[in-house]
Homo-oligomer: A and B are copies of this chain.
Amino acid sequence: MEQAIGNKRTLEVCFSPILYPYKLIDKDYVVIIVDVLRATSTICTALDNGAKAVIPVAKVEDLKQYQGNGYIIAGEREGLKLKEADLGNSPFNFTREKVEGKTIVITTTNGTQAVEIAKGADDIIIGSFLNLNAIGNWITEQDKNVIILCAGWKNKFNLEDTLFAGALVEYLSDSLNFHFNLSCDSAIAALDLWTIAKEDLLDYVEKTSHRHRLKKMILDDVIEYCFTPNVTQVIPAFKNGKFVDIAENKIYK
């Protein structure tokens, strides 16, 4: 399954979409987008439960054109379900019964905005703890530079996306056939924070600001699930305006 890769590639972490224009890598790269709470965890769950595709849109008004055409409309702002939407942004909404065979149109506060800005990449892949090793393995098979783009919270740094970035950096550094430069301080910091947090991940997450934001809105029922590694093998990749599972399409699996 795995191929030997000769070139040394660069692995970089962006802590916020607003830092993305200052990235080091400018060619021959894939972007891993991460919004652990909750957009990228939700997209992984939807595809794992048999959704055909997930179309990300940045603006609420972009949802209109899809309404009444057989799509499932999903979206939130500030963590709350939009009135225009069939579903909110909790991964628990995207059950097999609801999504199998369907195409979902989704807009979220942070996640879909990150997709917009990453459009110069060779591949845009959705990452979450749920598919950590699956995308780790996929990356090791590419001969590409890698940018892990944390969606953050309204352009601010957040810990939960950073922890995922650290977990992925660790997974890749353990991979013998993937040699990369860690010349990026963000990647070093993410790895070190992950090293502290992984000893008791949920306890660490307890102190983050977004955890408290969700708790306040009684949306924190998803925390444990969103921090569970490797519940799915999906590799959501952005193809022709949609996220489709390239693992399921036998490109990877």
A169 within 8 A of B: no
Q: Which single member of B185, B195, B209 contacts A184 (CB below 8 Å)?
A: B209
Contact with B along A144-180 (1 / 0, CB 8 A): 0000000000111111001000000000000000000
Alpha-carbon gap, A157 to B157, bound state (A): 10
A189 at interface, CB cutoff 8 A: yes
- The stretch that binds B, out of A15-23, A57-65, A117-125, is A15-23
Residues B183 and A156 in contact, CB atoms below 8 Å apart: no
Q: Which of B19, B183, B192, B210 contacts A16 (CB 8 A)?
A: B19
Residues of B close to A195: CB separation below 8 A = 196
> Does chain B have a CB within 8 A of A137?
no
Is the Cβ of B159 less than 8 Å from the Cβ of A189? yes
B residues within 8 A CB of A209? Answer: 183-185
A8 within 8 A of B: no
